[in-house]
Structure 1
């Protein structure tokens, strides 16, 4: 049980959380830049990108997302962003508040409710496991899902410890290799597949994660193939260490992982073995439940 922490550590972790969430917003905004310009597909994806940004930003404040902020993060001209937001407003996916900010509209909320009816069983089955992980570790537990060459935080649960990990929030999106869960997913892929993922994200790593060493990430992946778990010593967010294990579902490719994150002194020594045991147990529980769903 954690009996307290350095207030400076807590403050630094909170600030890292804000920075990382903004980084995730930038990743959402720039993930489509490699598409052919002037195509209808690019226009649709840019509109959806703005919709995602409004949701991410407005989710953290009551006065919504400002036009200037959405334009700044997206890198699009303010006039272009305004026109696209107006189109989304006309369709009911975005609404403008009296204060001038933007938030998700009724149609987005309805779409979210409809999506709940067809939610990924993996997300549903992970709920109890994440609650147990958070309660038993007294730290923050995460479910990470793969989406193409990126990973997304699909669910998180916080323990009752005094230090909360704010480095990753639900909906945050990073290139594969950023975070313990993401690395655990990569550890289940072949070396050639891992190379392909890093190559696909080479530009985003260079521009948005210049301090992250791809060689160091490869070393962690290689070690994880032997150990069966990832130990991430704060390579991305210094001071935010984490353990991760892949979710191995029969007949399914690697696309998910569980992880626990905290401050360094809670993710070292003998506690590593305890955290790994907890993660493996819950990963096995989820995999068995999903296999039962798949069986006739």
Structure 2
């Protein structure tokens, strides 16, 4: 019985540590305050401080002496470099992203699923002269906020969709007053139509369309999206972009399965 208790406690600690790293990553490069991490993790400040201090000692976080804000530490960079040869999704997908941006004229995004979030790992601008405010490269948003994140969320099993929406609900209000009910409705529309469409949440004045990318096991791990102004991204334009987006998603899936 004691062993089980220790195991559960250890798993909770690891889960909190990972979530703390995700919270800090979401605020890069400005960093995050202790009070913000404590609130997000529903922890008392002393408990959150001990957790952040341990991560800082190990090099996973670092703290600015003046602002006292926490940012990602050097060890994460080293670990990322070590993993590059095993996970080169951006490298594999970039030629397809370039082609899609050229074909549509608009900005193409590649998102990677990371827990309850979607991380933008590639952004390619097309030749259309008016480009939009866009999701920054490397930014992290809750699944469902961006078109890529919505495509990923809609591709999950129904019980997992409910779990994700429940988990991200407290963070949705920062994205165009999005809430859990609206997100669930967007998921339903995406599952019905076979593609995700969202506007004015990930970036003001922007509408985008997205499709998931599946690994060899059939699990959605990433998503492609095309974004432009709301005025330009009409329903008619979506119908024109969709075949190109489907071609790109199929090609990336094929490349990942090789």
Calculate the TM-score normalised by the size of structure 2: 0.75
Could you list the runs of 5+ residues in structure 1 that have no partner in the other structure? 1-37
Quick check: 1:288 aligned with 2:254?
A: yes
Mapped partners of 1:187, 1:107: distance in 2: 34
Would the alpha carbon gap of residues 108 and 204 (structure 1) be closer, same or farther in structure 2, given more than 3 Å must change? closer
Deviation at 1:267, TM superposition (A): 1.1
Q: Name the structure 2 match of 1:110.
A: 78
Match of residue 204 from structure 1:
167
Taking the aligned partners of 2:200 and 2:56, their CA distance within structure 1 comes to: 41
The C-alpha deviation readout for 1:14-42, integer Å capped at 9, x for no partner, is xxxxxxxxxxxxxxxxxxxxxxxx72211
Please give the per-residue CA displacement for 1:96-149, whole angstroms capped at 9, x wherever unaligned: 333233322222221121122221x4433111222333344343322234456x
Partner of 2:62: 95
**How far is the alpha carbon of 1:222 from its aligned partner?**
0.7
Match in the other structure for 1:41: 11
Deviation at 1:154, TM superposition (A): 4.4
Distance 1:47 1:70 in 2: 11
- CA distance, structure 1, for counterparts of residue 204 and residue 70 of structure 2: 33
Aligned partners of 1:216 and 1:95: how far apart in 2? 38
Residue of structure 2 equivalent to 1:232: 198
Unaligned runs of 5+ in 2: 1-7, 173-178
1:245 aligned to 2:211?
yes
Q: Tell whether 2:237 aligns with 1:274.
A: no
CA distance in 1, matches of 2:169, 2:151: 22
Deviations 1:40-74 (A, max 9, x none): 211122122222323332x223xx43334433444
Deviation at 1:163, TM superposition (A): 3.5
Report the alpha carbon displacement of residue 251 of structure 1 after superposing the two structures with TM. Answer: 5.8
Shift in alpha-carbon separation, 1:110–1:285, aligned structure 2, 3 A? same
Greater relative contact order: 1 or 2 (C-alpha under 8 angstroms, separation 6 or more)? 1
Q: Helix, strand or coil: the match of 2:118? A: strand
CA contact (8 A) 2:26 2:141 kept: no
CA root-mean-square deviation: 3.2
When residues 244 and 52 of structure 1 are mapped into structure 2, their CA distance, relative to the original with a 3 A threshold, is closer
Q: How many residues align?
A: 241
Q: How far is the alpha carbon of 1:268 from its aligned partner?
A: 0.9
C-alpha contact 1:140 1:156 (8 A) present in aligned 2: no
Instruction: Indicate conservation of the 8 Å contact 1:234/1:242, yes or no.
Output: no
